[in-house]
Structure 1
Amino acid sequence: MADNETPRAGRAESGAGHAIRVLLVDDHQVVRRGLRTFLEVQDDIEVVGEASDGAEGVAAAGQLRPDVILMDVKMPGMDGIEALRKLRELDNAARVLVVTSFTEQRTVVPALRAGAAGYVYKDIDPEALAGAIRSVYAGHVLLQPEVAGALLSQDESNGGQGRGTSLTEREREVLGLIADGRSNREIARALVLSEKTVKTHVSNILMKLDLADRTQAALWAVRHGIGA
């Protein structure tokens, strides 16, 4: 069952006005314990709960409303990919950072398509993991170099780089700001455009790159060195 804890008094606030609320979803208790032990010493991160599989994780996310979920991929019952899809169906606002030992491209790609905001391996340096949490919380897409390299290789084999040549210079600017986690309003202010014009650019970008949403657009941008 999800482990619900009330935020502790005296935690330092993040730049957004509160500590980053994190939910841990992993079927190995020792992994969850290790993550909690490290994260609880971070001044701007609050571990608000734990879950041992995808179904528990989805339920806990609905109850606890975390800012960031650390999610394993391979778990009994509902795995991480299915949990990501369910969270998306429920329109849960939490950003999901996949933390796993599985490095295969056939695992990475479905996770990102299902809505993961980042993908890192369990051997990541603890301080780097804390930085990854802060990064995805801020709206960025976070991939370890090995993951980005694998995705770039696949995208090139599928002709993805060629699709990018159809973007106009303005569309590439908009895409770069999407990768930086900017909203349409923020992009409009940065480029001195109307929000309606930005929405049109975003729609054109998605159509030209054959992508489903802004998250996929941000991932595509990161893989091709645009923004972020």
Structure 2
Amino acid sequence: MINVLMCDDHLIVRQGLRQILADTEDIVVTAECDNGADALRAVREHRFDVVLLDIAMPQRDGLDVLVQIKREAARQPVLMLSTYPDKQYAGRSFRLGAAGYLNKRAGADLLTSAIRKVATGGIFVAPGQAEMLAMALAQPSANAPHEALSRREYQVFELIAAGHSVGDIAGQLALSPNTVSTYRSRILDKTGAQNDVGIAMYAVRHQLVEM
């Protein structure tokens, strides 16, 4: 049996994933959690064949948790789940040590195939991701400044690049303006941009926004 730790902060998502996996004969969810801290605690205390890890996790985002898991248990297979565009997060996930990346819009068959693949030590690449990943991983931008942005910083980065004000971003992300301003300062420091226009130009130069 393939023992799975399922980590997602939305109960309805966990219920749906659990139902999908309950229909298989070889995959069982042996533990689940709804935040990054509990995910790390579970990995430290138990052995799992696969960790299903949502990128948008509270307390510590999924990419941060992934880095910590690989630091403490380098051989632990982690399959990242996300609603975000593959172009933005799949490459980052693989660079940080993920064994696979799957968009939540994928079907049940693809999910079970991905779990079986990474459980046996393989790397799962979804149909349509291969060429995009090959280009992303081959580019020297692998160590580009924006790679150091956290998930939340990257969200703010995208919205600033799209022309949104601090107030607009605060409303969209349910954050205080002061918190958004703090993220903005970190983004400026990490990218070397001088202002919001500089952030937008950086995003265009690195092809991180659609023109």
Query: Structure 1 length as normaliser, TM-score?
Result: 0.58
What's 2:133 paired with?
Answer: 151
Matched with 2:73 is 91
The 5 A counterparts of 1:64-83 are 64-83=46-65
Check conservation: 1:67, 1:93, Cα contact below 8 A: no
The one-letter amino acid paired with 2:25 is: D
Cα deviation 1:90-133 (Å, max 9, x = unaligned): 12532101111112433222211111000111111102211111
% identical aligned pairs: 33
Is the CA contact (8 Å cut-off) linking 1:119 and 1:147 kept in structure 2?
no
Could you tell me which residue of structure 1 aligns to residue 165 of structure 2? none
Q: Which runs of 5+ in 1 are unaligned?
A: 1-18, 161-228
Find the partner of 2:32 among 42, 50, 65: 50
Show structure 2 runs of 5+ residues with no match: 143-211
Residues 1:159 and 1:81: Cα distance change in structure 2 (over 3 Å): closer
Offset, 1:78: 0.6
Q: Does 1:20 align with 2:9?
A: no
| 2: CA distance, partners of 1:141 / 1:29 | 27
Contact persistence 2:49–2:76 (CA under 8 A): yes
In 1: Cα distance, 2:141 partner to 2:55 partner = 28
What RMSD over aligned residues (CA atoms) do the two structures have, in Å?
2.0
Contact 1:26–1:51 (8 Å) recurs in 2: yes
What do residues 166-225 of structure 1 show as CA deviations (whole Å, max 9, x unaligned)? Answer: xxxxxxxxxxxxxxxxxxxxxxxxxxxxxxxxxxxxxxxxxxxxxxxxxxxxxxxxxxxx
Residue in structure 1 matched with residue 164 of structure 2 by the alignment: none
Matched residue type, 2:32: E
Partners in 1 of 2:131 and 2:14 — Cα distance? 28
Distance 1:88 1:69 in 2: 11
Distance 1:85 1:156 in 2: 21
Amino acid at match of 1:42: T
CA change 1:68–1:159 in 2 (3 A) is closer
Relative to structure 1, the CA distance from residue 155 to residue 91 in structure 2 (aligned partners, 3 Å threshold; closer, same or farther) is closer
Q: How many residues align?
A: 142
Q: For 2:52, give the aligned amino acid.
A: L
In 2, the alpha carbon distance for the partners of 1:76 and 1:51 equals 11
